[in-house]
Structure 1
Amino acid sequence: MAEDTEDKTEDPTQKRLDDALEKGDVVKSQEVNTWFIIAGATLVLSTFSSSIGDGILMPLRNLIANSWMIRTDGAGLLQLTQSLGYSVVAAIGVPFLMLALAAIAGNMIQHRLVWSAESLTPKLSKISPGAGFKRLFGKQAVANFLKGIFKLIALGAVMVAVLWPDRFRMEAFLHLDPSELLPAVTSMTVHLMAAVVAILAVVAIGDYFFQYRTWYERHKMSLQEMKEEFKQSEGDPHIKGKIKQLRVQRARKRMMAQVPKASVIITNPTHFSVALAYDRSMSAPVCVAKGTDNLAFKIREIAKEHDIPIVENVPLARALYATVEVDQEIPVEHYHAVAEIIGYVMRLRRGLSGLRS
């Protein structure tokens, strides 16, 4: 296992990371989730504490004030329970919704939404003693231990710093009226939670970067894995070469089938052959086939079989081969030279027709 880890020295490809996300293997810091929940709770407490208290207090006050009117039969008791339940839900419904949204945001900010059953699939590695030992004494466990120590010290220091100036005030809480006690406690609690949120923000940011780095390192690849992925995404080079060869053969076969339609073959006797087709409906002659060496000889053989004139012109054959592709018109700079050859061929054909007649 150590050797495998040492071999994985290459940064993961985007495909590797995307595959991990599809399997539900994502960067996730529990500290970020905790921060969002506590921050949401602080916001709820500072914003809705009075409305929550009033929403619960009023039904209870009415209950006590009108206790003599409460029906004690089964239907009346059920109605009373439902009424109190609706009042409580109405009072805490929005705050609880905000807490739920905060918990969802804590996950969504770390990674996109992923639906995967991969993490639910039973794996022997999850019950492996070696894997368990690694979880207990590995890098992640050490990081969690140090993080816990830091949180304990930091939060303890923050609580002391926030509450120590109010230590005498807290002693006076024993003598306060309940109606005055609740706002005072709420205010102190909000200040304490705000300080805790600030400390946990530092912890959450640090933990997220640690979790991201751990996740990234876990998905590093060996050179062999990168080669295999390249084969899967781009195709096996041998297969691609074979496909390319077949395409070239088919294109060559189609090209050779066009040679009988040529008007003239311009050649360099030892290397090049360019087959041109022209009739009066065309704006310029078109190259229907070209080739070198053996392919050039094959073009000339087909031309001889179909009585197509073959004209030797070394510089023109070289120039046409280099500048025009199959099924393209010849470049303007070669119009004059090709026009002379095609004119010569047409005159030659007319002369042969006259002799035959």
Structure 2
Amino acid sequence: MAQDQDKSEKPTPQKLEEAKGRGQVTKSQELNLLVTCIVFFAVFTMLFNSISEQFIQLLKRVFLLSSNFSFTSESLVGLFRYIGLEMLYIFFPLLGFVLLFGVMSNVFQTGFVLSAFPIKPDFKKINPASGLKKIFSKKTLFELIKSVCKLLAFTLVIFYLSPLLIEQAYELMISPVSVMPSLWLGMLLKIGIYFVLLSVPFVLFDILFTRWDFMKNMMMSRKEVKDDHKKREGDPEIKSKQKQIQKELLQKSAALSQVKDSDIVIVNPTHIAIALKYDKLTMIAPVVVACGKGELAGKIRSQARKYSIPTIQNKPLARKLYEQTRLNKPVPAHCFDDLAPVFRWLLGIK
């Protein structure tokens, strides 16, 4: 509980992206419902003449069939199957548009989200404590208040429209069959317009609350933000060490140009190379002007051959110097005894 109260930091983009990968996104079902209704009424109005004509033709065919119809179980099943398929054919364009715009409304709110995470079995969902927490959550309370308000609002609108609807229903009963479709369309459009206008405030409140509730559930503690930053950017200590290693590698690579000024190169024989320079008049000890391992050691040996720098193979000494010396620094005093024979040999060949 204390950890939940400590979540005062806004969610990082990384956490929001991970939540989206799990199918956790902010989405207003009220907006989807409103878009579906608007598309339904708009497309139904445009296709009304075609739908009504096809529907009338279907009724005529059914009446013609009924004149010679034998009422058996098989014939009734066949008749209902025929009527069902014809109705599906008539209303398929309308249903197709409604389905298409319903999907587009979801994509508009959440983007393309394909995740199997929500359907994975989760035993936490059947935990009684978690269930009670959801029942008494702010979201549940909001949904309850919203449902009650919608019920009251639509009841008042229906009560307000009831005289008009009764009048139009009576007009339908006494009107010729030829004008009935247009009267039906007018009545449905009025109901649709009132429904849409009444739904707009609920949609706006639902969008605002849904986004607020989602962001509240995504809030993070300072420790979580720090851990997320480490996960995304890397541990600062590790990054510092990596930068230090990269810096040393760059310095060692740049030191290749100083191999030509060295007096001797000590190798191991292929893995390590140390280039030393010693001037007894200006230096108290030999200085490491270049050192490297692996590929860099090979480049040092190549430079030594290019500039005719004496090279000596001494595995223990090369390894010791590589581990215990630093670039552009004098060799430590405890290495003098090991280096003395090397420089005596160097003076001998010179």
CA distance in structure 2 between the partners assigned to 1:174 and 1:229 by the alignment: 69
| Contact 1:55–1:87 (CA under 8 A) maintained in structure 2 | no
| Structure-2 residue corresponding to 1:223 | 222
| Contact 2:26–2:110 (CA under 8 A) maintained in structure 1 | yes
How many angstroms does 1:257 deviate by? 3.9
Q: 1:69-108, aligned counterparts within 5 Å? A: 87-108=86-107
SS of structure 2 residue aligned to 1:39? helix
Q: 1:140-151, aligned counterparts within 5 Å? A: 140-151=139-150
| Structure-2 residue corresponding to 1:342 | none
- 1:139–1:85 distance in 2 versus 1, CA, 3 Å: closer
| Structure-2 residue corresponding to 1:52 | 51
| Structure-1 residue corresponding to 2:8 | 9
Does 2:155 match 1:156?
A: yes
| Structure-2 residue corresponding to 1:128 | 127
- Normalization by structure 2: what TM-score? 0.68
SS of structure 2 residue aligned to 1:109? helix
| Identity in percent | 24
Structure 1 alignment gaps of length 5 or more: 276-293, 300-304, 306-357
Q: Which moved more, 1:60-69 or 1:214-223?
A: 60-69
Q: Which moved more, 1:13-22 or 1:172-181?
A: 172-181
How many angstroms does 1:46 deviate by? 2.0
Query: Structure 2 counterpart of 1:236, which letter?
Result: D
CA distance in structure 2 between the partners assigned to 1:76 and 1:121 by the alignment: 45
Q: Residue deviations 1:295-327, cap 9 Å, x none?
A: 65549xxxxx8xxxxxxxxxxxxxxxxxxxxxx
How many angstroms does 1:54 deviate by? 1.2
CA distance in structure 1 between the partners assigned to 2:160 and 2:76 by the alignment: 49
| Structure-2 residue corresponding to 1:253 | 252
| Contact 1:55–1:88 (CA under 8 A) maintained in structure 2 | no
Query: Structure 2 counterpart of 1:55, which letter?
Result: Q
Q: Which moved more, 1:6-15 or 1:37-46?
A: 37-46
| Contact 1:11–1:221 (CA under 8 A) maintained in structure 2 | yes
Q: 1:299-318, aligned counterparts within 5 Å? A: none
| Contact 2:52–2:181 (CA under 8 A) maintained in structure 1 | no
How many angstroms does 1:16 deviate by? 0.9
- 1:238–1:200 distance in 2 versus 1, CA, 3 Å: same
Q: Residue deviations 1:245-272, cap 9 Å, x none?
A: 2223323333344313259x9xx99xxx
| Structure-2 residue corresponding to 1:233 | 232
Q: Which moved more, 1:181-190 or 1:109-118?
A: 181-190
CA distance in structure 2 between the partners assigned to 1:162 and 1:57 by the alignment: 29
Q: CA RMSD in A?
A: 4.2
Does 2:186 match 1:187?
A: yes
CA distance in structure 2 between the partners assigned to 1:149 and 1:76 by the alignment: 47
- 1:195–1:69 distance in 2 versus 1, CA, 3 Å: same
Q: Residue deviations 1:61-96, cap 9 Å, x none?
A: 1453476788999x9999988875654333211111
Q: 1:343-354, aligned counterparts within 5 Å? A: none
| Contact 2:11–2:218 (CA under 8 A) maintained in structure 1 | yes
How many angstroms does 1:119 deviate by? 0.7
